[in-house]
Structure 1
Amino acid sequence: MASGQHSTDDNINFGKNYVVLNLDLMTVLIDVVKDTEEGRAFISGRARWNDAVHKMSSRPPVIFIALFFNPGEPELAQDAPSGKLIRDFGSFAAGSSAVQIAPCFKVDCEDIVLQKTRWYAGAGNSLGQNLKARDIDTVIIRLRYNVLELPLEQHQEYSQVMLRSLLPKMNLRVISIDEALKEVE
């Protein structure tokens, strides 16, 4: 998804200063879906986009957001709705291999990896400060056909609501990976 503007010929314009924001690409979640048709398509598309961004000569900032918690610090109550949703996936302990960005996605020394402690990408981290300091006018989050919602059996239903209803109502433009790749090439 890009909140970029339309140009007069309907090409995509990512704006003057944009950032690529990658959400929840942690090993613990990717392992749940990697052997499914939907998971393979998701991983392939995200890896293709991530690789293209990393190859750009004038590359935008790339930020990865990962959900994890510090041992002994109850950032998320076990009986909270979010706590119940993630309980079956493990502890999401800081520093564990489970919460590292999955190895199928390139992360290098120029990338920023931030912790989040809730579903909101900016919860418990400096995301807002990073965007403001870089004078970011466009955030590329997710791309059409490149959204994977868990639990997997509810993927179609939730992704369609998000992509067709919620995001357009927030005046956010949803584009495909191919459209995004065309823009960066």
Structure 2
Amino acid sequence: MDSSVNASINLGKNYAVLNLDWITVLIDAVKDTPEGQALIENLAKWNNAVHASASRPLTVFSTLSFYPGQPEVQSGTPFANLIAPFGEFRHGSPETQIYKAFNVDSQDIVLPKTRWSAMTGSVLEQILHAHGVKTVIISGLTLSGVVMATIYRLFDLDYNVYVIRENVLELPVEQHSAFANVMLDMLLPKMGIKVISVDEAINALNRSKCQDTL
């Protein structure tokens, strides 16, 4: 592991891993690009580390999906226009499933939602509250969509939020650098939200595991 990794990150005991919209339709849109391939590699690296942990944190995978005909979405709205190029997002369809490169098992929660934010059109807020979660670690795509929309709601609810830098991506990928520069390097630090590397996240995960055994 890189010697520059920050070893001071403390997730505490009540934290959750939020894997936002790692769904096939979105991953398929980037998988043939260098940025997408790097994202897949880093998401898998993080997900495998979480699953290998002896004391696994609460892990939630969000998925965006709708009933046939998208009755949950008003046609012509900005949200409807934004998702239209990607397809129908029909509930239960292959394209709304978690991408095949990412391991999901019976201990994970796969949570459907009907808006960008994982806190809207889902029961995520109730799940976090029921488990006494105080801190969340976020990965996902898109950066300007589900990631930022979810962060704003978590921020309003006074959660401690970490974002894994390598584990978020903007679409189209050509815009990622510009969006990341503003959001990851300026906006989130201004809000007091911590942007960390995947190695820092894994290191914090492992140290949290050790603390649980004390």
The residue identity in structure 2 corresponding to 1:131 is L
Work out which of the residue numbers 122, 127, 130 in structure 2 matches 1:125.
122
SS in 1 for 2:166: coil
TM-score, scaled to structure 2: 0.79
Matched, 1:86 2:83: yes
* Residues 20-71 of structure 1 deviation map (CA, whole Å, 9 limit, x = unaligned): 0000100000011111000000010011000000010000011001111111
What is the alpha-carbon distance in structure 2 between the residues aligned to residue 59 and residue 109 of structure 1? Answer: 12
* Residues 84-134 of structure 1 deviation map (CA, whole Å, 9 limit, x = unaligned): 111111100000000000011111011001111111111111100000000
The residue identity in structure 2 corresponding to 1:31 is D
What is the alpha-carbon distance in structure 1 between the residues aligned to residue 121 and residue 40 of structure 2? Answer: 27
CA separation of 1:84 and 1:111: change in aligned 2, threshold 3 A:
same
Matched, 1:177 2:174: no
What is the alpha-carbon distance in structure 1 between the residues aligned to residue 76 and residue 55 of structure 2? Answer: 45
Alpha-carbon deviation of 1:73?
A: 4.6
Work out which of the residue numbers 10, 16, 19 in structure 2 matches 1:19.
16
Matched, 1:158 2:179: yes
Quote the residue 2:132 is aligned against.
Answer: 135
What is the alpha-carbon distance in structure 2 between the residues aligned to residue 36 and residue 73 of structure 1? Answer: 30
TM-score, scaled to structure 1: 0.91
The residue identity in structure 1 corresponding to 2:205 is V
Quote the residue 2:54 is aligned against.
Answer: 57
The residue identity in structure 1 corresponding to 2:133 is I
The residue identity in structure 1 corresponding to 2:29 is V
| Unmatched segments (≥5 aa) in structure 1 | 1-8
The residue identity in structure 2 corresponding to 1:115 is P
The residue identity in structure 2 corresponding to 1:103 is K
Q: Which structure ranks higher in relative contact order (CA pairs < 8 Å, sequence separation ≥ 6)? A: 1
Matched, 1:106 2:103: yes
The residue identity in structure 1 corresponding to 2:35 is E
CA separation of 1:46 and 1:130: change in aligned 2, threshold 3 A:
same
Name the one with the larger strand percent.
Answer: 2
What count of residue pairs does the alignment treat as equivalent? 177
Quote the residue 1:167 is aligned against.
Answer: 188
What is the alpha-carbon distance in structure 2 between the residues aligned to residue 10 and residue 181 of structure 1? Answer: 10
Alpha-carbon deviation of 1:169?
A: 2.3
Identity within the alignment, %: 54
The residue identity in structure 1 corresponding to 2:57 is P
The residue identity in structure 1 corresponding to 2:13 is K
- Name the Cα RMSD after superposition: 1.4
